[in-house]
Structure formats: C-alpha cells, structure tokens
Structure 1
Amino acid sequence: MHSPHTHSSLAPALFLGGLLAGSLGGALSGCESSRAGAAVPADTTPEVVEVSTATARVEQIPNTLALDGTLQPRRHARLSPLVSGHVAQVRVERGDVVAEGDPLVVLRQVDLRLAARAASARAEAQLEQLGVERTTEFDPDAVPEVVAARADWENLEDQLRRVTPLHAEGVVDDRSFEQARSAAEAARARYDQARTRARGSLASYVALSSEARLRRNEASNTTVRAPFAGAIMERLVEVGEFVGTQSPVVELVDASELRLELAVPERYAALVHEGQSVQVTVDGTEQQVTGEVRFIAAALDTANRTLTIEVVIDNHDGAIRAGHFARAELQLDGTRRVVRVPTNALSERAGVYRLFVVEDGIATTTAVRVIDRTDDVTTLDAELPDGTVVVTLPPRNLADGVPVRVVPES
C-alpha cells in the first residue's frame, strides 16, 4: 500500500515524460514530411505554345543594290558682290525663279563713280606732265624735258670735239679743255637723269590709268547678277547694309538636275559602271524617278572601304526639291537569291528584324535583312532553304527554343 508521499513524487516525472514523447513525435513527423516533399521533382518542361505558320519561298530576282543618300542640286552658289558698298536694292525673294544674268542685288554707285572720276583726273594730270599725247608706243626721247637735255648735251659734246684737236696743238690751254670736257659729261648726266624721270613719270601714269580703269569697273559692277538660271534659296541682306566682297548676299540653286551621292560597299564596287540605271524613291513624297550613274570616284575610300558614285536625275520640271532624303536601287548585272515570307512573320526589335523558324516542333530565332517590304510579302536577304516553316503573328510568350504546336491561323 502506497503512501500519499509516493503518488505526489511520481506526478512531475510522468508529466515531463509526456512532454518529451510529444516533442520527439513532432520532430519525427516533421522529418517524414520533409522527406516526402523532397522526393517529388519539380516540373521544368517548357509550356507548348500554339502558333500559326507559313512557308518561306526562295526566288531569283534581278541583282540590285539598295543604298540611300541626300539629293543635291546640280549647282549651288552663295553669291557675293565684286565690290564693297551699301545695298541700294534687293530685287529677289526666297523661292523666286531667275534666269542667267538677272539682277539680284544692287549696291549704291555714287561713291564708286566719284572715286573713278578722281582716279581718271590724276591719270590725265600725269599725262600732261609728261608732255606727250600717246603712251602706247612711248619714247622717252620724245618727252620735252629729255629733248632739251639731249640738245644741251649734244651741243657741249660738239664743242668738246672741236676743242680737243686745238688742245693737242697747244692753241687751247688745259684749263679750257677740262672745262669743256666737264661740261659735256655733266650734260650727258642730265640727259640720262631726264630719261630716267620720264620713265618714272610714265610708270606713274600707267599706275594711275590702271587705277582709273579699276574704279570705273567697280562703278559698273555694283549689280550682283545670277551666274546661272535657278531659284533663290535664301536672301541674306537688306537695303542699307554694308557688304564686302566676302559677304554672301544671295544663295542660288540650280535643281534642273539632281545629284545623289552614294557609297557603294567594296564587294559591289566592280559591278558598278557609268550609265547604269538607278531607281530612286524620294522620301516624304514617295515619288519614284529614274536616274543613271554619271560619275565614279577614281579610288575607294580607304577609311570606310566604299566607292563614291554620283547618280544624276533629270528634274527640268522642278517636281522634286533638292535636300530630300532618297533611297536608291542600283540595277546590277545578273540575278540574286532572295527569300520571300509573309510580312506578319517578321518581328523587329532595336532595328533588327527576326523570324521564328519551326523545326522538329521547336521554334528558333534567326536574324534577317529586309530588302523590300509590302503589306503582305517581305523580301529578305537570308540563308534559309526553300520551304522553311516560319511562324506568322508570333505570340508574345514565344521565345527561342520553345516547343510549339501548329494550329490553323485564325
């Protein structure tokens, strides 16, 4: 028979044992759950995407080269006056059509005419000082001053010739002889000086007369005229402004012919020659015109490995303005291989065009280069075999390497 003390001492021990057993059981239960969860593998198989497809077709088309550039006018000039002066008249405005020789800007003439008169007066005064009427066949000995000096010299020279034999005979003393000889030498020196002065005066007259002609030409060249037929692109001055010979007053363009400068890649350089036909599409207007290769550079640009050519386009009716961006299609010899696909098969990102190609139920992307594009069909430069299956209207969740299932296009 147990005493009350015995029962009270066993109660705490039984309670602790129950707690330990419960904890151990919970731990064992958690381990079993973890093992069960680890035993089930995650499903990583990509989801099959439903797509519609079309077939790519390989064709041979005429060999062309697509390039682009900016249309330039046949001639383009920023016109400056031949003389400096103040603008008196401006006879044109932007867009005006002018013929060769038409007056565009007129400078004030009064000051230039006065300067021309003053220069002419100085030249006439110099001619009067020379004392001759013509200078085309100028003879310095015809100048009055020279004529007088020569006469004086010849007179004294004649006296010296007469005195010389008398001096030899002792009739004339040494002093008189030396005086005669010195006088003749001095007269010769004065004659030479007179000739030199005459030549200097002639040079001054020539310079003054040249200046007079220059001033007269300036006075007659105060009108800026059109050097060729064209249209005014810009008027750069206003009445009253002072302009110099380096100051453009009008910008003139001749767009009767347009020129398109193109850079042909090195690999096509041997296929380009003068006279080749070029189809040009003008941006902004979508006009299509035909030009021809007229000028070809003598050598390739070594910096970018291209050959510069110029295409000339007739524009006598002025239908196309210079400055438009244009796309050119050069007609080369032979044919080229292209691939045609539906336009809705293309996807574009950051300027790069791609196709999704389906093979063995897997979609893979390939980059392509677009040659021509319409609403329905796009022509590509791509290494795809004939009959390649491509995805049309690619879904947003389609990615490279994803399995696909082909369904009819809705």
Structure 2
Amino acid sequence: MKASKPVIAVLALLFSLVITAQEKPLTKKDSIVKSAWIVSIGTNFVDDSGDEFGELFDFKEGWNAVPFPSRVSIGRYFENGIGLEAIGTYNKYKEGKIVDNAVNLEDVDYLGIDFRVSYDLNMILGDTGFFDPYIGIGAGYTDANNQGRGTYNAVLGFRTWLSDHWGLDFSSTGKWTMSTDNSTNHVQHSAGLAYRFNIKKGLSRKGEEKLAFLEELEKEQQRVQDSIAAKERANEEARLLAERLEREKEAARLAAEKKKKEEEDARRAKIENEVRNLGRVFFKLNSSYLSTKDKEVLDKLVGILERAPSLVIEVSAHTDSRGTDKYNQWLSEKRAKRTVEYIISKGISQERVKYDAFGETRLTNECDDETPCPEKKHSENRRSAFEIINP
C-alpha cells in the first residue's frame, strides 16, 4: 500500500531534522587563509664549508650563526598559492669554522638580500590545518668571505600557524653562485616568528563541501516547510481577518479617546494661557497692601478659578533687595498672605490656593545689594506671582 502524501512529508521532515542534528554548521575550522601579507623576524644559519650539500648537519664545524635576530622578511601571498618575498640576512663566519674546505682564520661578515617566488604545497596536498609547507626559487646577492656574488636560490620550508596571525617559519635555502671566480655555493637555514596581516579568508575544500551539503539540506527543509505552511495558510488568513476587525474596533476607541484628550488639552492650555496673561501683583515700597489695580488682577484670577473647579495655584511673594534679609523675608510672607486672603475672601477654597515667600532671593533683574538701581527697576521685584500646580 502506498503511503499518503502527508505521511511522506512528515517522514522527510524527520529525516532532515536527524541529519541536521548530526551535521554541525560551518565553524572557524572550515575556513582557511587565502591571501595575506607575512612579515617574519628570526635567525639564520649559514653552511659554507665546501661540502654543505654532503654534510647537511655538520653543526659544530660548518654552521655559522650570530646570537641575535639576523633575518627579516616581508612577502605577499596570493589565493593561487604564489608568494613573492624579499629577505634580508646578516651572519658572521666564525674563526675556527670550516669555510670553503679550509679553517677560517678570523671572523668575517656575511650579508645577503634575496628575492624569491614560492608556491604553497597545500594547493596540491589539500588543507593540512596548521601545517603549511612550501617550495620556491629566486635570486639574490650575497657578500660572504669578502666576496660578493649573485646567487640562484632554491628553498624548501614550512610554516606552522598557532593562530590566524602568528606562526613559526622554518626553511632551508640552497644558494648557487652566478660568478665564475672562486666564490662557492652554500646553504642557508632559517627559523623565525611570522606574523600575517591584511588577511583574506575563504572556505577550505572540506568547508566548501560542507557548505554545499548544508545548502542542499536547507532547500529540502524549505520544501517540506512550504508544504506544511500551505495547509496552515487558510487558518492563518481567517485568524488575521478576525484580528484586523478587532484592531479596527480598537482604533475607533482610541480615536475617540484621543479626540477627548485633545479637547481637554486645549481647555487646559487655554486656562494656563489666561493665568500667564494675568501678569503680577506689584506692591509699593515696604507695603503689603493691595491697590485697586492689584485687586482687579486678582478678581480675574478668581474668575478663572471659578470656571475651573479643580485648578490649584501657588502664590509666590517677593521683595526688592533694599532692607535686611530677615525683614524682606517677613515682608514677603505678609504680601503672600494678603494676596491669598483676598482670593479666599472671594469664595475660593483655601485648599486651592497655596503660597510661599522668598524675600529678596529671586530678583528678576540685576538690582541686588551691590548694584544701585532706579526706583522703577526696584519696583519690578516687589511682586506676587501665580503658578498652576495641577493644570
């Protein structure tokens, strides 16, 4: 009996989930450095004994080295495996060492500058992780044993990378002289610390295979999910329709509330503007009594309070800077009380009219104890002002 289409779809989904659980996504290990600049610094060992290709490890008598960094190089390495590198080296043929099949009688400087083209063997072998072998050929100039000569070079080496940037570089280079005089061939070995920068990374072969598999798996999962989603789409559309109707109902309610709030805000703004436009009550020097003009201002304030039964205001009273601080504080308190008492006498509840007195601490201009001012400017500070507490 043939399985139904829903059963097949479910089995396919389960199968893809099992594979996904077993196959990890792409990781750092799936990528490799494709191209970079590499600079290295280290030391070099020169074997110019005359039989350097026969006795490669004649350390005691044939190898020469100095006790400090003696090699520096910089190179550019490309995605196709080709590398271009410039190398500078310094060494010293030591007294007592074998040089050109004879015992060297004194220390002699060795200087070399070389250029080479190398090829990354991982392009042939496949990615080998941290191990990076290479071969190369090149040319250079060497001044050794008091003889300058051009050389043809061949190199075999490897780098071992501890991280994306840092690693160790080991190589051996054979140098064949271009001269027809008595200059000889020799071998130069090196070891150093390498640093990579301007790195461009890409997937390894294993990473590319893994990516292709994951993409195919993703397509299969998407196909299964699409078939399941098609069955749910009708129910989803019905649910969305119900939600849309509910949202429209809620939007209508919010619009009504917004309109009500805007009307209330407009009313509040009108009241606040009326209070601001009232101005202030101004007192004569050393007086707390209200003039006829002051009472007209307060009568307008009473009218506003009557039209807005929930409005609460605060009266703040002030003095000019003349007189002592203690006297001015006392005088401002009297002015505040007289202002509030007048408002209450007009039928406004005491709970709706707060007050505070500040003496000469809040001047509206520069007329302090140190600044002489005309009477007109001093009069600007003898005032009661109004502020809405709960608009």
Bigger radius of gyration among the two: 1
Higher RCO by CA contacts (8 Å cutoff, separation 6 or greater) = 1
Q: TM-score, normalised by structure 1?
A: 0.14
